[in-house]
Amino acid sequence: MTHELIEKSKRYLWLPFTQMKDYDRDPLIIESGNGMKVKDIHGKEYYDGFSSVWLNVHGHRKKELDEAIKNQLEKIAHSTLLGMTNVPATELAETLINISPEKLTRVFYSDSGAEAMEIALKMAFQYWKNIGRTEKQKFISMQNGYHGDTVGAVSVGSIELFHHVYGPLMFESYKAPIPYLYRSEAESHAQCSDEHLEILEQILIEHHHEIAALSIESMVQGAAGMIVMPEGFLSGVRALCTKYEVLMIVDEVATGFGRTGKMFACEHEQVQPDLMAAGKGITGGYLPIAATFTTEDIYDAFYDDYATLKTFFHGHSYTGNQLGCTVAIENLRLFESEGIIEQVARNTEDLRLLLTELDSLTHVGEVRQLGFMCGVELVQSKETKLAFPAEKRVGYHVSLKMRELGMLTRPMGDVIIFMPPLASEREELEAMVMIMKEAIDEVTSDVL
Ligand SMILES: *Cc1c(COP(=O)(O)O)cnc(C)c1O
């Protein structure tokens, strides 16, 4: 039975972001989950050390979330949001607006983070058109940014490894550099931040008249390797966008819903975006719902008689799905009743202490953390910060070793990603960090 399933998986499937030759060598099929662990078809259990790719909040099979979906199923599973709405999509919109930054007063649903970003880009583009500023058609994006894998989202991204193949398909955007403290020569966080803001300002001085919006991840560049922005940077970007009349699109897909110890990471810097994309944790990791938030000013620019053709011409079949919206409502209710934000804020310090365990390892260059979003950069030499040769695939081999030891996570190059479910207890965090330590130690001492 298990053997047959594995054969079928190799014969019929094609997995995302996966070299299938790697999969065929080390297949893995998950059958169930409970709390912070998932179980494969052989009965082996693993800690979900990456929250099933940055999604999970309360653990798997959370009773209240399961119940919410079952109850909704007694009513209806799905009806469309094109030209009409449904009960949970409407209730959820109010909840989302109540917890989001004040200036954001409208929510537009979709099914994935990439779509939420596409929508933000198209809204920004059309906003200027609708108000008669047709010269504003370009974007500024951040180096090493990641906003998802659809063509528009990739165009404002810049992870070389993902993006060089598709270059000819993309629209161009101006790329602004982003501070990367570990590899910067700057003497202080403030200096590093200021230098980068100056470069951004130069781009704005030259091009602001043709720029519709700037896109940026909120506080942490996740896929770039958990690169945490220095204090003052995000709010500095906000100030520049305002000064040069450029809309600010903040990507909270990874950082939103408590991941960094605030409901949204832009709260760390009291930033009010013009557009904000969210997804991932919105349903507690249960169902695909995403949301683009925007201001009343932007909404108003689309509100007119049909004949003016100011309508936002965008939508997806499953937008506003009732099961997804219902579980999102219940997820957010649990954020309140179980004090998830406070819990993450409280456990962040414990987790920081636990992670210092890794500092003593020969090949750990830097441990980065904002709340429950952590990255461990592995290097060949701590002194020179020299990276391992890419072809050694050190991060990949560490993740395979962790799997053997009972924890799942996916690296970004040689940065080990650690994003436990937000409700993880101290003992669980400790067990996960120990597995990470053992795997890093074993694999890196073998490499050279
Ligand atoms: C995951 C992610 C996305 C894309 O979300 P999907 O749901 O995978 O399409 C976009 N932006 C950031 C910052 C992400 O981490």
CB-side neighbour CA atoms (13 Å) of 204 = 22
H-run or E-run covering 147: none
Q: Give residue 271's pLDDT.
A: 98
Q: Last residue of some domain: 337, 354, 377?
A: 337
Model confidence over 415-439: pLDDT tens digits? 999 999 999 999 999 999 999 999 9
Do both 79 and 22 map to the same domain?
no
Do both 132 and 244 map to the same domain?
yes
Model confidence over 47-83: pLDDT tens digits? 999 999 999 999 999 999 999 999 999 999 999 999 9
Q: How confident is the model at residue 443 (pLDDT cuts 50, 70, 90)?
A: very high
Residue 33, annotated ligand binder?
no
Question: Where would I find the H helices in 1-156?
Answer: 2-12, 20-25, 51-54, 63-73, 87-99, 113-130, 151-155
Phi, psi of 101 (to 5 degrees): -50, 140
Instruction: Report how far residue 269's alpha carbon sits from residue 258's, in angstroms, rounded to the nearest whole number.
Output: 15
Q: Last residue of some domain: 337, 370, 389?
A: 337
279 lines ligand 1 (CB under 6 A): yes
Task: Quote the percentage of the chain above a pLDDT of 70.
Answer: 99
Following DSSP, what letter does each residue of 327-385 receive, concatenated?
HHHHHHHHHHHTTHHHHHHHHHHHHHHHHHHHHTSTTEEEEEEETTEEEEEE-S-TTT-
**Residue numbers of the domain that contains 366:** 2-58+341-447
Phi, psi of 334 (to 5 degrees): -65, -35
Question: Average pLDDT, stretch 220-230?
Answer: 96
Ligand 1 pocket test target in 53, 121, 147, 253 with most atoms within 8 Å of CB: 253
Task: Report CA(148)–ligand 1 centroid distance (Å).
Answer: 5
Do both 147 and 280 map to the same domain?
yes
Residue 410, annotated ligand binder?
yes
Do both 133 and 188 map to the same domain?
yes
Residue 251, annotated ligand binder?
yes
Model confidence over 80-123: pLDDT tens digits? 999 999 999 999 999 999 999 999 999 999 999 999 999 999 99
Task: Report CA(253)–ligand 1 centroid distance (Å).
Answer: 5
Task: Report CA(305)–ligand 1 centroid distance (Å).
Answer: 35
How many CB atoms neighbour CB 370 within 10 A?
21
Domain CATH number, residue 267: 3.40.640.10
What token pair was written down for 83? 């030209």
Do both 407 and 347 map to the same domain?
yes
156 lines ligand 1 (CB under 6 A): no
Residue 370's DSSP bridge partners are: 373
Question: Where would I find the H helices in 29-86?
Answer: 51-54, 63-73
Q: Is residue 447 over pLDDT 80?
A: no
Do both 330 and 354 map to the same domain?
no
Do both 52 and 140 map to the same domain?
no
The tally of domains found in the chain comes to 2
Model confidence over 340-369: pLDDT tens digits? 999 999 999 999 999 999 999 999 999 999
What token pair was written down for 170? 């993309």
Ligand 1 pocket test target in 147, 275, 283 with most atoms within 8 Å of CB: 147
The reported pTM is 0.97
